[in-house]
Amino acid sequence: MRAGRLRHRVDIQSREETQDQVTGEMVPGPWVTVWAKCPAEIESISTREFVDAKAKQSEFTARIVIRYRAGVLDTMRIVHGATIYAIKGPPLADKVSGREYLTLMVAAGVNDG
């Protein structure tokens, strides 16, 4: 993939956990930006892909490609402008080296926060 295709800038966020002062239980806290303004390619999934998709895949609305970053998890989310994408499933490494790009299958909308 050529770098010129990574024309969007996205923030990758992770949810912090905080400790409840009364119970001592760890509870979800605020979302924090782990990586800001990452170059990315955002491609909406076509209607045909929706129809051809299996049950779990049908909840995907886009695929986002970013340069490889160690530590990207499916518990994180992507923010692009006013749109929030939940990462659905593990990040997929590129086929050649596995360390150039990550493909993230995402669904638009706020999930759990």
Which residue ranges form the domains of the chain, and what is each CATH number?
3-108 (2.40.10.270)
The pair phi, psi for residue 71, each rounded to 5°, is 100, 0
pTM: predicted TM-score of the whole model, two decimal places: 0.81
- Lowest average pLDDT, out of 1-10, 21-30, 42-51, goes to 42-51
C-alpha dihedral sign at 22, 111, 82, 69: positive
d(CA 43, CA 101): 15
Does 3 or 101 have the greater pLDDT score? Answer: 101
Q: What is the pLDDT of residues 49-105, one digit of tens each?
A: 555 555 444 577 899 999 999 999 999 999 999 999 999 999 999 988 888 999 999
Average pLDDT over residues 25-50: 86
Find all residues with CB under 8 Å of 14, minimum gap 6, and list them. 31, 32, 34, 73, 75, 76
d(CA 87, CA 52): 20
